[in-house]
């Protein structure tokens, strides 16, 4: 059985930025959802910049069920990229943490009443609480009062900062190399490719950072702006702000893309990120076998090379860019078929390709290094 | 001297829609600005769907100055497209109106305290008040109370409706012919071209309507959504909603474009309108001699045919579209040079072109009729 350890407040040492919640030690709330219904929590465990000290799942921890209570993440997830951490039933059973992250999203994006106790315990111990729910923590008078009383902060990461402004067209002037992940559709692996690419670059000794533009990316990196929630006029400006901020500290930025230029609903967000970030190189993400926009099945996805041409010509009007690598998600294919699909995808695009989940992002990074002035 | 006529409330006969403020008789507030510093008021007088019964400019009306008080708009503006209307000093000197429109925008977008009396008089008479200022009428407790008390409404037209949602990709399925005005930059005459085109079509007996996407367009048409203020994810959905609503009542829709695909800051808005509206045909607006993005002078505007190709290829991924005509603003050119510039512009684009302010939009309409199934 886990020791009950008092939650330590790390407010004093925590650096703050306009955008970040700066976690160092995180407890991840995933009640009754881990691992299969807690995709966000799993993404955080796989890719987070910070340490996850515990996952909260009272079902697994067996609170009231008499089940075994010394489970850890590795008992449920067989993936060596995933951090291991104890699974506990309640916030006060977790080792000291500075931030509680809500890592499950119930249908409708609400806040489950049964989570209140954990949030309250975290706040009382001075820990920040972070959520990407429709329900705003900052609209909850009780949470706001507790946070104020205990010097903790509430972060609703769906909400962009209130002081966004229009882009000044400055991203092309920075010294850092900027890579954008773009796609043929939503959910084509842009976030995953971004994280794998940052990890591969770091393993190679590069000072690389992700520029997170969506909720899971923000939870993973501990900072960022949900660009799709920004006022349309300011969406490119929000991206630019992040790129300029990250460029001050890093040599390689990988900007997480959203949506697709060929998506009838989200193409405006995609365009804003493309023009706000002005990437030197693009990695084109696609799902093997997908030939129509998901949920918009009467909209075919054009041949991938045509989609790549569109990104290059639209991006190119503000700063030269080219698709230098392809990332193909092959999770729906059998072994053998996946390799062939990656080969065909690379041939169709005319650039090196890989499945970053299956193969890692080494080959993609090689293609980036070969096409930019990145030194690695 | 003008008779002082009691402001009549027309609430009973006014139809309401989710988007519109439905004016029939409008008083236009332009204190100390008419005509040169009241571009919005001038746009309304030139193109509005409704009757302007008076312009409020206390400087011209001479309140307290002993000046002549029977001026009308035509004393200041020599343009037969502009409605004539008396210029009065105060709201209660205007003939009966159902809506007071704020038609000046001070630097910073604030609300001038000296306008309060006119707004209060309008509200007390049950007239709606409409503004596109940074200052929200609906945040002013006194205005809200007066409006409630007298059955009037306050419209902050910068604010999109709260219930926007993502586009469903339905605009291509409507029966109406949809034309989009697009541009090489901001302020290239898209709103003007839209209005001139609608007027030309109506003169030819077509049932045409503007789909207004920006503040002046909304004031002109009496309905619409400021798409650039919508949450980025919903910007295409906001456009789609307007197109579907207008298509139910009209045969030809002209969708007012915003920004430009080659603008580093606003291209996302442009993309959202292009994909939300799915126009059958595009009219490409440009300012003669402009070769860089205004305010972003280090970003050259590509050759106009390349810009047209970009609109066609990006628009074409969701629904076939083509640039069928060009609209060139030649106001900065001398007589003689303007005609030549229009000819060259049409040659460069490879389609008929005109300056809709100088020439009207007949030739542009002809090109649209020739390229679509519009019957006129």
User: Considering CB atoms only, which of B228, B233, B263 is closest to A228?
Assistant: B233
pLDDT over threshold 70, residue B1: no
Angstrom distance (rounded) from CA B265 to CA B246? 29
Q: What are phi and psi of B192, to 5 degrees?
A: -60, -45
Residue among B269, B296, B310 minimizing CB distance to A169? B296
Residues 260-279 in B contacting A (C-alpha not used; CB under 8 Å): 261-272, 275-276, 278
Residues B359-364, mean pLDDT to the nearest whole number: 96
Judge whether residue A306 has pLDDT over 80.
Answer: yes
CA distance A20 to A224: 6
Q: Answer yes or no: are the C-beta atoms of A28 and A41 closer than 8 Å.
A: yes
DSSP B106-164: -TTS---GGGHHHHHHHHHTT-EEEE--SS-GGG-HHHHHHHHHHT--EEETTSPPTT-
Q: What percent of chain A has pLDDT over 70?
A: 93
* CB–CB contact A228 B230 (8 Å): no
Weakest mean pLDDT among A19-23, A215-219, B260-264, B365-369: A19-23
Output the pLDDT for position B105: 80
Given CB atoms, is A231 within the 8 Å cutoff of chain B? yes
ipTM of the assembly?
A: 0.92
Query: Nearest-CA distance from B71 to chain A in Å?
Result: 40
* Ordered alpha helix ranges (H), chain A: 39-47, 58-61, 116-124, 141-150, 190-203, 215-221, 235-247, 267-277, 304-316, 337-349, 356-359, 362-371
Q: What is the DSSP string of A74-102?
A: GGT---TTSPP-BEESSGGGSPP-SEEEE
Q: Does A236 touch chain B (CB under 8 A)?
A: yes
Residue A297: its H or E element: strand A296-300
CB contact under 8 A, A231 and B233: no
Task: State the Cα–Cα distance between residues B84 and B38, nearest whole angstrom.
Answer: 15
Of all residues in chain B, the percent with pLDDT exceeding 70 is 93
Chain A residue with Cα closest to B317: A262
Residues B28-77 have pLDDT tens digits of: 999 999 999 898 899 999 999 899 999 999 999 885 555 556 899 999 99
Q: Which residue, among B167, B214, B231, B265, would best test binding to A if mutated, counting the most A CBs under 10 Å from its CB?
A: B265
A168 touches chain B (CB under 8 A): yes
The predicted structure's pLDDT at residue B373: 84
pLDDT in tens, A245-279: 999 999 999 999 999 999 999 999 999 999 999 99
- Chain A residues with CB under 8 Å of B158 CB are none
Express each pLDDT in B221-259 by its tens digit: 999 999 999 999 999 999 999 999 999 999 999 999 999
State phi, psi for A337 to the nearest 5 degrees: -60, -35
pTM of the model: 0.93
Q: Which of B229, B236, B265 sits opposite A264 (nearest CB)?
A: B236
């Amino acid at each position: 059985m886990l020791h009950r350890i008092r939650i330590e407040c790390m407010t004093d040492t925590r650096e703050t930025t306009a955008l970040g919640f700066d976690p160092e030690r995180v407890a991840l709330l995933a009640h009754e959802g881990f691992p299969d219904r807690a995709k966000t929590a799993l993404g955080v465990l796989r890719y987070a910049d910070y340490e996850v000290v515990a996952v909260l799942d009272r079902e697994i921890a067996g609170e009231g069920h008499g089940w075994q209570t010394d489970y850890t993440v590795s008992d449920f997830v067989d993936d060596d990229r995933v951090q291991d951490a104890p699974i506990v039933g309640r916030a006060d059973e977790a080792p000291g943490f500075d931030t509680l992250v809500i890592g499950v999203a119930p249908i409708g994006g609400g806040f489950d009443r049964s989570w209140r106790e954990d949030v309250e315990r975290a706040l009382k111990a001075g820990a920040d609480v972070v959520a990407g729910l429709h329900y705003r923590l900052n609209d909850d008078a009780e949470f706001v009062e507790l946070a104020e009383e205990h010097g903790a902060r509430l972060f609703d990461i769906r909400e962009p900062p209130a002081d966004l402004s229009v882009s000044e067209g400055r991203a092309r002037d920075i010294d850092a190399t900027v890579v954008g992940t773009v796609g043929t559709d939503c959910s084509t692996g842009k976030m995953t490719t971004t994280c794998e690419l940052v990890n591969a670059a770091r393993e190679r000794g590069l000072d690389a950072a992700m520029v997170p533009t969506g909720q899971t990316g923000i939870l993973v990196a501990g900072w960022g702006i949900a660009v799709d929630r920004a006022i349309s006029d300011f969406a490119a400006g929000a991206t630019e702000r992040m790129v300029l901020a990250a460029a001050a500290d890093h040599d390689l930025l990988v900007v997480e893309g959203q949506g697709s230029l060929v998506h009838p609903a989200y193409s405006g967000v995609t365009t804003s990120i493309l023009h706000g970030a002005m990437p030197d190189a693009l990695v084109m993400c696609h799902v093997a076998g997908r030939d129509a926009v998901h949920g918009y099945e009467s909209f075919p996805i054009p041949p991938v090379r045509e989609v790549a041409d569109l990104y290059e010509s639209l991006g190119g009007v503000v700063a030269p860019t080219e698709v230098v690598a392809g990332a193909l998600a092959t999770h729906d294919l059998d072994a053998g078929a996946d390799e062939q699909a990656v080969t065909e995808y690379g041939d169709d695009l005319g650039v090196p390709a890989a499945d970053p989940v299956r193969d890692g992002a080494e080959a993609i990074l090689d293609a980036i290094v070969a096409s930019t002035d990145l030194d690695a």
